[in-house]
Amino acid sequence: MSKEFSEVGIEAIGLYVPKYYVSLDDLASARGIDPLKFSDGIGQKQMAVPPPDEDVVTMGASAAAEALQSVDIDQIDTLIFATESGIDQSKAAAIYVHHLLHLPRNCKSFEVKQACCGSTAALQMAMAMVAQKPTRKVLIIAADVARYGLCTAGEPTQGAGALALVISAQPRIMTLESEWGAYTEDVMDFWRPNYLDEAVVDGKFSIKVYLKALTESWAQYTEESGRSLDDHSRFCYHLPFTRMAEKAHRQLAKLNDQASAHPQQYEDSLHYNRVIGNSYTASLYIGLTSLLETSSEDLTGHRIGLFSYGSGCMAAYFSGKVLPGYRDFLRPQRMTEQFGARHRLSVTEYEAFYTHELPKDGSRYFTETYETGRFRLSGVEAHKRLYEPAQQAKHSVSSAQPAAMAG
């Protein structure tokens, strides 16, 4: 392993979450379900809901703008956009972001897909690109809108968000280690045919496959690295809902003949996802951000294990080590400043956002202005999506109230 490769890691992180959310207590009451099922059974309190003028491009561009605040954009050599909520079958969401952020002309820009694991495939690609040429910086954007359908079992596990990472040979937050365990199997646990806007899911089966993929990826990782559970201080799991971390950690403990799993090894990774919901490709990395930003313990030098699962399925287990001074490049006040400033939607308002559709016949359409990040989808014309920098929002949801975090 070359010296350069061992030093590849995360230089910067940016996170964007829509400005609107639904309280799962409100959703439970509207659906006639015991609220404890959502809060305790699946471990979710709120789910982020994008307004009609936001999509993966606007969310991803906002996350990337935050990540790039302390990075010279002229050094970005490649932009990889991971999503399973793509807005075009041909043109990459990365190209729109490249334009919105004025990235260099020579920056390669493309999209990758393998369900929630697409971002992790992008990460491994980025690590190899940086190892090959250490002056390179690669911007990864993971952005998704999780949609299962109104009144379905998956509905409380919806959510939306975007996470951006700058991967380079000058990491400031975490180095990434080169040993990986991976697993692929052709299964139908969760998928979305081109003609559907919502995922088709075999929920209980998907949990079983997730745990099997964890077992298999862990086995290869430990064989390659010679490391054990005790060599890890914290664990971040792909979080379709936060109780999945409990199931996953129990599984790892069992595999390693430990009598009990220790929740303190993963619980700080759950704070953000509990109020955002599933964000597919972004979910694991939002969990990592939550861990690094909310842990009261200084994690410098600690090894973090990461498990990425993408239905269908491909999974990966890998690890990284937290760097000295990492907190200087994070935003620990995010929970109050960013999530606390969101607007609470009634279930009726959420349903109106959910069912909003853009015209499919090529006609011209201007999207109403809501509160967004730095960019908004202004409309469509001749089958082209139009984006613009967001001005002061008109915020036309009449009853939406600023967030009460306990909602």
Q: Which is nearer to ligand CAA, 221 or 280 (CB)?
A: 280
Question: Applying CB under 6 A, does 157 fall inside the site for ligand CAA?
Answer: yes
> How far is residue 310 CA from its own chain's centroid?
12
- Find the binding residues for ligand CAA in span 208-227 (CB under 6 A): 210
Closest-by-Cβ residue to ligand CAA is: 41
> At closest approach, how far in Å is the CB of 394 from ligand CAA?
33
Q: Give exposure, 140-160, as e/b (b: 16+ Cβ within 10 Å).
A: bbbbbbbbbbeebebbbbbbb
Q: Which of 11, 54, 84, 155 is catalytic?
A: 84
Residue 223 is a catalytic residue: no
Residues making up the chain, counted from first to last: 407
Using the rule CB under 6 A, give the single segment among 86-94, 233-241, 292-300, 356-364 that binds ligand CAA: 233-241
Question: Applying CB under 6 A, does 149 fall inside the site for ligand CAA?
Answer: no
Q: Which is nearer to ligand CAA, 235 or 329 (CB)?
A: 235
Using the rule CB under 6 A, give the single segment among 17-25, 37-45, 99-107, 180-188 that binds ligand CAA: 37-45
- Exactly one of 242, 289, 311, 367 binds ligand CAA (CB under 6 A); that residue is 311
Handedness of CA 69, 71, 75, 76 (dihedral sign): negative
**What backbone torsions phi and psi does residue 305 show, to the nearest 5 degrees?**
-95, 140
**Helices (H), strands (E): how many in the chain?**
12, 19
- Residue 10 bridge partners (DSSP): 167, 174
Pairing, β 159-168 against β 174-176: unpaired
- Exactly one of 207, 330, 335, 358 binds ligand CAA (CB under 6 A); that residue is 207
Question: Applying CB under 6 A, does 151 fall inside the site for ligand CAA?
Answer: no
Residue 238 is a catalytic residue: yes
Q: Give exposure, 371-383, as e/b (b: 16+ Cβ within 10 Å).
A: bbbbbbbbbbeee
Q: How many residues bind ligand CAA (CB under 6 A)?
A: 25
Using the rule CB under 6 A, give the single segment among 32-40, 55-63, 122-130, 287-295 that binds ligand CAA: 32-40
Question: Applying CB under 6 A, does 185 fall inside the site for ligand CAA?
Answer: no
- CA within 13 Å, CB half, 47: 35
DSSP one-letter string for 314-374 = EEEEEEEEEPTTGGGGS-TTHIIIIITTPEEPPHHHHHHHHH----SSS--EEPPP---SS
Residues in contact with ligand CAA by the rule CB under 6 A:
34, 36-37, 40-42, 116, 153-154, 157, 190, 201, 203-204, 206-207, 210, 238, 240-241, 244, 278, 280, 309, 311
